[in-house]
């Protein structure tokens, strides 16, 4: 089972290896432990830098100048919205009329 190597476990492995292989082996193991620690620190720094950059970009989007759509596009949007509103109003009116008709027929049956 592969597990994430931490600095502590690497150091423990280095000590165990040093006991087994002597001074020469200890030097090479200590070097690899130092490399692992440096790599971990580098990864953490990259993550922090990335987070900071994305936060700055988000803030720029919120605060910066907004891009304006062309007048033609804006007019087209208004026209489409007006059409949608008209359709909705028409549907509502139809529903109202049909509801009134059913109410009237229900009264007559009584």
Q: How many domains does the chain have?
A: 2
Average pLDDT, integer, range 54-67: 77
**Same domain flag for 10 and 41:** yes
Q: Model confidence at 2, in pLDDT bands (50, 70, 90)?
A: very low
Mean residue pLDDT of the chain comes to: 76
Q: Which domain holds residue 102?
A: 71-110
Residues 104 and 80 placed together within one structural domain of the fold: yes
Please count the other Cβ atoms lying within 10 Å of the Cβ belonging to residue 27.
11
* DSSP E strand boundaries for 46-87: none
Report the distance separating Cα 18 and Cα 26, nearest Å: 4
| Better-scored residue on pLDDT, 1 or 17 | 17
pTM above 0.75, yes or no: no
> Are 9 and 55 in a shared domain?
yes
pLDDT per residue over 94-103, tens digit each? 888 887 777 7
Q: Are residues 77 and 40 both part of a single domain?
A: no
Nearest-angstrom CA–CA distance, 79 and 71: 12
Beta-sheet strands, E only, within 19-89: none
Q: Please tell me whether residues 16 and 53 are part of one structural domain.
A: yes
């Amino acid at each position: 089972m592969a597990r994430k190597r931490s600095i502590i476990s690497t150091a423990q492995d280095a000590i165990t290896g040093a006991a087994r292989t002597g001074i020469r082996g200890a030097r090479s193991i200590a070097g690899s432990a130092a490399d692992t620690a440096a790599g971990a620190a580098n990864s953490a720094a990259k993550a922090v830098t990335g987070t900071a950059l994305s936060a700055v970009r988000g803030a720029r989007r919120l605060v910066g100048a907004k891009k304006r759509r062309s007048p033609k596009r804006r007019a087209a949007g208004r026209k489409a919205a007006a059409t949608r509103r008209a359709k909705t109003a028409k549907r509502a009116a139809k529903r109202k009329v049909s509801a009134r008709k059913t109410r009237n027929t229900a009264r007559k049956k009584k």
